Structures are given as structure tokens and as C-alpha cells.
Chains A and B, each alone.
Chain A
Amino acid sequence: MKVGDLCRRHVVSISVAAPLSEAARLMCEQQVGAVIVTAAPADSPIAVGVLTDRDIVRAQLEGTADLGEIRIADVMSREPLVLTEDERLDEAVRRMRARGVRRAPVVGAGGALAGVISFDDVLSYICANLAALARLTERQSRRQDDQATYQI
């Protein structure tokens, strides 16, 4: 499984030039706890940071509470872990763990932002595999029960 097979193509992102108030509004509208921060070029933006709801709250406590007065660039996590579409999923998880992040932007061959992958996406994938295994063992134990009934 490659990162590109599992990542989400709908990326909730915001320009690094936008005010923090806009990022806050976007997070609430889209019901996400983090957004990918991008920089130009507009037609193939690159990921320059990740901004979480916690980054916003911390910035407000450390400086002004006025979200319109805070720059995203000053509070986001810079130099985010960036994964590539053709990277193996297990390798990607290992890198996410090493960096201690729950989500990472995904880029295509040219380096342009192509998606985002999260802890939740990987968990769902693993659980779906497990559920398929569980269905298999259930089917086999039912078959054994049926055979036992015939023998009687």
C-alpha cells in the first residue's frame, strides 16, 4: 500500500499570507483540527506548514488575543514532514511516528501538494483489513459447524 492510495485528496488548506482569523473560521466550517498551510505558486501550491487549533490557542495566550492581528507564519509548525504519493505506507507511518505527528501533507512527483494523510486514515485502513480477516474466520467456523451438522 502506497501513501497515494490512502491519502485524502480534499486538502483543507490556507495560504500562509492569510490572517489567523481566516484559518480559525476555516477549521470550524470544515470541522477539522488542523489545516495545511501553503505558499505560491497558486496553481501548484507547496506545503510550508501545518496549523492546529492548539497552535491558535497557544498563540493567543502568548500574545494578542485578536486573531486578525496574528500571522499564520508565526504560529504554525514549520518544515512539516512531507510524504510522497509513491512512499510505502509502513515507511510513512514510521516517519510520522519519528516526528511525532498525526498528519502529514502528501506531495506528487513534482513536489506540489496532492493530498493529506492522517493517523485516523491509517487506523481505518488497518481496521478494515482486520475486519476482513474477522469475516473470513467467521465464515470458516460457520462452514465447520455446517459440516459437523451433516456428520450427525
Chain B
Amino acid sequence: MSIAEISSAPVYIAFADEPLAAAARQMCARGVGALVVVDTHDAQQRPIGILTDRDIVCGQVKRRTDLYCLTVGEVMTRNPLTVPADAALSEAVQAMSARGVRRAPVVDRSGALLAILTLDDLLPLIAQQLGELAGIADAQARGPPAAAAQRSA
């Protein structure tokens, strides 16, 4: 399964020069915990940051002002980890683990934003793989259907 298939869709963006309050409002309205930040003039929408609820709160604390007086670019987390859409699942997990991030924008070969991959997307997938493995073990413990039929015959 490719990263593009796993990752959450759609991904919501904010512009770096946008007022922080507008981005915060978008996050609340959409019920998402993060926006991918891009430059207003970049038609390709290459990710330059991530904005989370934490960034909004801590940006205000650090700069001693409120969200109406800040821009997204001032408080976002810069240089986000990006995951190529054709990366293997294990590569994405390892890269996210190494950087200590729960979410990463997914990009195409030119670096343009396609989607966002989150820990919450990965967990059900891994759980499903485990469930299938458990199914093999369970089936073997019960014995193959043919053998069971022979035994009972």
C-alpha cells in the first residue's frame, strides 16, 4: 500500500503571511489539529511549516501577544519532515519516529503538497496487518479444514 493511499485526505493549508486567528478559525471549523503551511506565492504549495494548536498557544505565550496580532509564519514549526508519496510505509514510520513527529506532509517528486500522513492513519493499518497475522495463527491452531474433516470422518 502506498503512502498516498494511507494518508488523510483532504489536507488543509494555511499561508505563512495569513493572520493566526484566521488559521485557528479554519482548524476549529474543520475539526483538524494541524494545517500545512505554504508560501502564498508558491503555486506548487511546497510545505514550509506545520501549524498545530500547540504552536498557536505557545507562540502567543512566547511572544506575549494574542493570536490577532500574529501571523501563521511567526509561530509555525518550520522545516517540516515531508514524506514522498512513493515511500514505503516502513520508511515513513522510521522517518517520523526519528524526527519525533506525529504527522508529516506527503509530497510528490517536485516537493508539491499532496496529503498529510498522521500517526492516527498508520495505526489502523498496522493493527489490520496484525489482525490478519493473528488470523493465520488462529486458523492453524484450529487445524486446516481438510484435516479436521478427515479426523471427523
Contact = CB atoms under 8 A, between A and B. Distances in A.
A105 B52 CA distance: 24
Contact of B28 (A24, A58, A67): A58
B33 A54 contact: yes
Q: How large is the interface on B (under 10, 10 to 19, 20 to 34, 35 or more residues)?
A: 20 to 34
Interface string B85-110: 00000000000000000000000000
A88 to B, nearest CB: 20
A148 interface: no
B10 to A, nearest CB: 20
A54 B57 CA distance: 9
Contacts of B67: 57, 60, 65
A25 interface: yes
Contact of A61 (B21, B57, B62, B130): B21
Interface residues of A, number: 19
B53 A28 contact: no
B43 to A, nearest CB: 30
Interface string A27-46: 11000010000000000000
B24 A60 contact: yes
A27 B58 contact: yes
A61 B56 CA distance: 12
Contacts of B53: 33, 52-54, 56-57
Interface in A98-126: 123
B62 A60 contact: no
Contacts of A33: 53-54
Given A25-B61, A58-B28, A53 B66 contact: no
A146 interface: no
B27 interface: yes
B52 to A, nearest CB: 8
A51 B53 CA distance: 12
B54 A24 contact: no
Nearest to A130: B130
B58 A123 contact: no
Nearest to B24: A57
A79 interface: no
Contacts of B21: 61, 65
B81 to A, nearest CB: 18
Interface string A13-28: 0000000010011011
Nearest to B33: A54
10 contacts: A28-B54, A52-B53, A53-B52, A53-B54, A53-B56, A53-B57, A56-B53, A65-B21, A65-B68, A130-B130
